[in-house]
């Protein structure tokens, strides 16, 4: 029998940041930190230097239509995939950075309109996770949102952010097939679709039962 998932042994108070300075500021920011932390065996580590890619937290939304059993995805160019073996135009979920004093649910609804032309009727929280905590501060809050997929389609995005976004509507079997075949190349889409594969039936039942109770 395995141990239960352990609680974290240490917390933020067990790290001493000796120095921190920005080394790059452009569209993104990079900081250099000199720090030390407590060790599992006792005592403290030596002071080490680490570079930290600084990003604000972001919201990702999986738009799902329980009536039509369809998923809405967006396709856009990503410079980080430029040298990968696959195309740098990735099939993704709706996403956006949380602005100051903005609630995550509001971000999900705003980005659904901006990137896919959709209104979100209900939201289901999935999880929160860090993208690459070894050197990146970005945290993702992932939601599933109920939408009317019949309204999805076309080209979207903000010119001010150089966005060029194409909307795709996938029947659930096709979305699952793309996931199973390894055609999804970003973590949020993989995590979101895997979650939907596990919870789709109960989610559909709950949302559609609510419709019946409201007389739809």
Which tops the pLDDT comparison, 163 or 189?
A: 189
**Domain check: are 139 and 202 in the same one?**
yes
* CA pair distance 185, 76, nearest whole angstrom: 12
Lookup result for tokens 């659930």: 172
**Domain check: are 123 and 136 in the same one?**
yes
Mean of the per-residue pLDDT values for the chain? 93
Radius of gyration of the chain (CA): 20
* CA pair distance 51, 67, nearest whole angstrom: 47
**Domain check: are 21 and 66 in the same one?**
no
- Is residue 158 predicted with pLDDT exceeding 90? no
Whether residue 6 is contained in a domain is answered as: no
Q: Each residue of 80-129: pLDDT tens digit?
A: 999 999 999 999 999 999 998 899 999 999 999 999 999 999 999 999 99
* CA pair distance 136, 198, nearest whole angstrom: 29
**Structure confidence at residue 163 (pLDDT):** 83
Whether residue 71 is contained in a domain is answered as: yes
**Domain check: are 98 and 203 in the same one?**
yes
**How many other C-beta atoms are found inside a 10 Å radius of the C-beta of residue 170?**
17
Whether residue 7 is contained in a domain is answered as: no
**Structure confidence at residue 215 (pLDDT):** 58
Q: How many CA atoms lie within 13 A of 23 on its CB side?
A: 12
**Structure confidence at residue 211 (pLDDT):** 72
> In Å, what is the CA distance from 21 to each residue of 24, 54, 125?
9, 12, 35
- Number of structural domains found in the chain: 2
- Is residue 142 predicted with pLDDT exceeding 60? yes
Is the Cβ–Cβ distance between 29 and 22 less than 8 Å? yes
**Structure confidence at residue 162 (pLDDT):** 82
Q: What range does the domain containing 182 cover? A: 58-213
> In Å, what is the CA distance from 26 to each residue of 29, 52, 131, 132?
6, 14, 20, 20
**Domain check: are 150 and 71 in the same one?**
yes
Report the relative pairing of strands 139-146 and 58-65 from DSSP bridges: parallel
Is the Cβ–Cβ distance between 49 and 32 less than 8 Å? yes
**Domain check: are 155 and 207 in the same one?**
yes
**Domain check: are 27 and 72 in the same one?**
no
**Domain check: are 19 and 45 in the same one?**
yes
**Domain check: are 154 and 193 in the same one?**
yes
Give the CATH number for residue 66.
3.90.79.10
Beta bridge partners of 48: 35
- Catalytic positions: 161
Selection from 184, 206, 209 nearest residue 123 by Cα: 206
């Amino acid at each position: 029998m395995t141990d239960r998932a352990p609680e974290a042994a240490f917390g933020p108070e067990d790290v001493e940041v000796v120095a921190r300075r920005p080394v790059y500021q452009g569209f993104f920011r990079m900081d250099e930190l000199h720090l030390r932390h407590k060790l599992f065996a006792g005592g403290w580590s030596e002071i080490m230097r680490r570079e930290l890619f600084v990003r604000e937290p972001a919201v990702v939304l999986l738009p799902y239509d329980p009536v039509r059993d369809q998923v809405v995805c967006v396709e856009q160019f990503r410079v980080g995939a430029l040298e990968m073996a696959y195309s740098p135009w990735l099939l993704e979920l709706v996403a956006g950075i949380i602005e100051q004093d903005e609630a995550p649910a509001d971000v999900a609804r705003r980005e659904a309109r901006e990137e896919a032309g959709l209104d979100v009727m209900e939201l289901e929280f999935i999880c929160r996770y860090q993208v690459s905590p070894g050197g990146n501060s970005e945290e993702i809050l992932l939601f599933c949102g109920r939408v009317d997929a019949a309204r999805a389609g076309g080209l979207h995005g903000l010119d001010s952010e150089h966005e060029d976004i194409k909307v795709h509507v996938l029947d659930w079997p096709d979305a699952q097939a793309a996931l199973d075949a390894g055609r999804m190349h970003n973590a949020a889409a993989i995590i979101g679709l895997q979650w939907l594969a596990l919870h789709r039936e109960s989610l559909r039942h709950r949302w559609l039962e609510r419709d019946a109770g409201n007389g739809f």
